[in-house]
Each structure stands twice: as C-alpha cells, then as structure tokens.
Structure 1
Amino acid sequence: MSKHRFFIATSGNDDDAYKEAMRYACELADKDQEIKKVIILIHTKNNTGWFERLFGIDVVKQLFKGTKFKNCKPVFKFETKRTYKDSYTTSEIVITCGLDNDDLSPIDDFYSVKAIIAIPWLANGLDKWVQTWNPTELRGNQHAVSAYPEPSCIVKKAMKSLTNSINMSTGISHHSDEEQAKTYILALHKYEPSINADIIGAYLIRELNWDTDHAKDIEKLIDTLNNGKYFQGGRRTGLQNYYKRWKKECEE
C-alpha cells in the first residue's frame, strides 16, 4: 500500500492550517472510496483549542464521538496519542495536531493509515519526518525542509545485506541479529569516511521498509560510535572483509 504524506509548514496557533487540512482530507476521500474516517490526532483530550475556535464547543464534543461535515464523506473523530490504535484496515486519514517527530513516526507505521496530513507546533518539530519522507507541503512551500540525501553505495549494500538476513518483524532484538548489526556498524564506522545516523535511519525506513522503532536501534548504535563511545558486542576482527565485499558489489 502506498501511503500519501502531506504537511503544512507552520508553527503555533495557526487555526487556518487545521481548516485547510480538514478540507484537503475531504478532497482525498472524494478520490478514494476506501477512506471511511479522518482521525484528528491530538496530544490529550484538552488540546482542542484550535477546533473550539473554528467550530465551537458543541462540535468539539461531537468530534470525540465521531461526526460528519456537510459535503464531506468520511467521519471525523478525535483520537489522542494514548487512545489511537492501528485498526489494520486501510481506511483512515490522520491529521496530526502539534505532534513532533517522535509522536508521528510510530503513526506512520500504522497499516490503517492511507494518508497523513501533519501540522507541527514548532517550526522544526517535524524536520526528521519531513526529511525522511519528503511529503508534499500543502501551501506550496516546497523548500521548507530538504530531504535527507542518499547514503553511499557501500552503506546501502551493508544495510540491504543486514535487512535480508534478520527477522524484520523483530528488528535486531534477537541476539544473533543484534550481533550482526553491531558488526556491520563497526565496519562502516571504521572504513567509511563518515556515517550519519539520521540519513541511514531514513534510508532503512523509506527504502527498506523498516519499522521506525527498529531503525532507531540502528541509529543509536551509529550515534554511540560517532560520539566517541563504545558498545558491547559485534565482531571486532575481519571488519575489512565486510567492507571489501560491499565495495566490490558497488563496483560490479
């Protein structure tokens, strides 16, 4: 399933952004008969000020139960970070209200979400998500944030090899998978000119279909070494052999 991603480059109390997002969700639903619901995702039940100003308190109360608007097919419903769960039915658009990277990334993994319209609270609050996915900016500000560049060919070969050899449903939580990941990261850190955790994490998520939390485990290993620290585990000998193999694959 192809997930559609959009955002509005704004910050603070931009009530119009929420109105624009809801209007665009209606347009998306008109084009896709599978969309049955628009989730308005807020931090807590108290974070409804934008919608009280737009629609009044009575409509806000209805949104907690689910309600429809004139000339718009899907049901709109409030959910909070605590209450929203994956329904495993591809039928929902999510409008995220003031959430940041850490809040949004797990939602992006939900199978039920066909489209995301993200509205940040802080101007840079969604930079990592935006740089990972390069979503469409709905106000036409296409240069709001640049996408992460591609990692080097050697890094790609290493991450593809790792992806093909681990249990993708559990990431690197199993001891043998963790050992292999650590070995690969040690080899890249030793022989590559530089490795960037954010760039590699984005590549794992965007191109190799890693879950966000599993990609973060790889990012943490990279950050540990880049910060001059060490981790236990991983083979410390023969690292050059791995690197030579990836380099050869790139030259073929």
Structure 2
Amino acid sequence: MKVQHYYVDSELNDDSAYKQAMKFACELAEKDPNVKRVILLASTKKTVSWLERAFSDKIVKDLFKGLKFEGCKPLYKIETVQTYKQQYSAQDIIITMAIDDKDVLPLNDMHSVIAIIAIPWQKSGLKQYLETWNPIDIRSNKNFKSEIAQPNCIVIKALEQLTNSINLSNGINHPSDNTRAKTTVLALHKYETSLDADLVKSYLTRVLHWENDVADELAGLIRTLNAGKFFKGGDRTGLQNHYKGWKQKCEEES
C-alpha cells in the first residue's frame, strides 16, 4: 500500500500545528473507511508538551489510553517511537510530533501506516523526509518543492541494475548480494566525482522501493568512502567495466 505523505510547514513552538494536523487526519479518515486510528507519535512519553498546551491535562492523559473526538470516526492515541508497533489489522494515520528523520523515515515501511503527517521541530531535522517524499503541506496544499532532485543517469543505471540483481527481501545480507552492492558502490565512488549518499538513499526508497533500513545500509557504504575510510568486501577489479556499462546505457537512451 502506498503511503500518503503530508507535513506542516512549521517550526518550533507552533501549537496550532497540532490541532490542524489532527483535524486534517479526521478529514482523511472520513474519506477512507479503512482508517481506524490516528497515532500521535512522540519521542518519549514526556515529550508531549505541545498537546498539553493545546488541550487539557485530562484529554492528554486520555489520549495515552485512546480517545475519540466528537464528529471524528477514528481513535486518537499517543504512542512513542518505542511503543508503536505495526499491526497488520490496523490502518493508521501517523502524526509525528517533532521527531526527526531517524524515526520518521522507517514509518513508510510499516504495513499498518496509511498516511504520515509530519510536524517538525526544525525542518532541517526532516530534511531527508521532505526531499525524499515531497510531502504536501496541509496548510497551503502545496508540495514541499516542485521537483525532487535525483542522481545522474549513470548512478541511476547502476542502482537499477543492482536492484534487479539482488534479493531485496533479505536486504544486502546474502554474501553474493553484499558483494554486488559493495562492488557497485566502489565503482561509482571511483568514477563519479560527487556521489551523494542522501540522494542515493532517497532514490532507492522513493523510486526503487527499497526499505528504509536497507537503503540506509547502502548509503552508509557511500558515506564510509566519502569520509576517506574503507570497508571490507566487494570486487576491487574490473570496476571500470561496470562503469562503462552503465555509461553506455545512458548514451543509448540519450
């Protein structure tokens, strides 16, 4: 199921953002009868001060147990990044409360998540989420930006070839898949003057449908080389042949 992506163009103590996001979630649930819950996702049980300013202490306390609001079908419930576990029978809208990329990006892989409404503390903390999914701002009804940056053609051909040659259900853990992944990264890093790990990860998740943690593992290999460090594994010979093959495919399509 394709996850719908939204955000609130907001930063810091914007208390109205929470009520607006909750109202928007109610409207989404009205259009989709499968939605049963709206999860207010916090970093910890103590980081719910935004809700405490917007609602009474009793309402916030009830939200930890689950609460329905008049005129809105789904149950609203506070969960933390540690307590929220996907349920295959549940269909949830997630409102993220000032949590960053590390905890927001994995939500896209959860089968129980229908939509994400991200409320940032600072937009820099959601940089990857915003640039990967180009979410719609619920206030303006406009996407984060009109165009999503993507890698150049040669990098794309390399990533497509890798995707088609490995078993993604196992990540890149199988020895042969791990070798292919590392060889691909080695070849690209050697012959591409600028290999952006975040851009590669974004393309893998958004276009090639890699799960977040697997894409992050490959991006981690790029970050290692970009930092002047090394990793074990991968074929270190014949890298130019791989690169020439990807380049030729681009030339044939141009």
- Provide TM-score, normalisation by structure 2: 0.94
The residue number in structure 2 matching 1:128 is 128
Identity of aligned residues (%): 52
- Describe the SS at the equivalent of 1:116: strand
Runs of 4+ residues over 4 Å off in structure 1: 141-148
Which segments of 5 or more consecutive residues in structure 1 lack a partner in the other structure?
none
**Distance of aligned partners of 1:240 and 1:189 in 2 relative to their CA distance in 1, 3 Å threshold:** same
Q: How does 1:1-252 map to 2 (within 5 A)?
A: 1-89=1-89, 91-140=91-140, 142=142, 148-252=148-252
Pair 155,100 (structure 1): closer, same or farther in 2 beyond 3 Å = same
Retained in 2: the 8 A contact 1:5–1:117?
yes
* Amino acid in the other structure paired with 1:165: S
Please state how far the C-alpha of 1:93 moved relative to its aligned partner.
0.2
- Is this contact kept in 1: 2:181–2:234, CA < 8 A? yes
1:147/1:118 CA distance change after superposition, 3 Å: farther
2:229 maps to a residue whose letter is: K
Native 8 Å contact 1:36 1:91 kept in 2? yes
RMSD between aligned alpha carbons?
Answer: 1.7
CA apart distance, 1:41: 0.5
CA contact (8 A) 1:130 1:147 kept: no
* Residue 122 of structure 1, CA deviation: 2.0
Q: Is the 2:135–2:143 contact (alpha carbons within 8 Å) kept by the matching residues of 1?
A: no
**Aligned partners of 2:90, 2:147: CA distance in 1, in Å?**
26
How far did residue 243 of structure 1 move?
1.1
Gaps of 5+ in 2: none
Q: Is the 8 A contact 1:132 1:148 kept in 2?
A: yes
Contact 1:38–1:75 (CA under 8 A) maintained in structure 2 = yes
Q: Contact (CA 8 Å) 1:109, 1:212: kept in 2 or not?
A: yes
TM-score (norm 1): 0.95
**Contact 1:7 1:135 survives alignment (8 Å):** yes
CA distance in 2, matches of 1:248, 1:54: 58
Deviations, residues 44-86 of structure 1 (Å, cap 9, x unaligned): 1122222222220111121111111011111101111111011
Which digits, 9 at most, give the CA deviation of each residue in 1:167-213, with x for residues without a partner? Answer: 21221122221111111111111122321111111000001111111
Contact 1:39 1:76 in 2 (8 A): yes
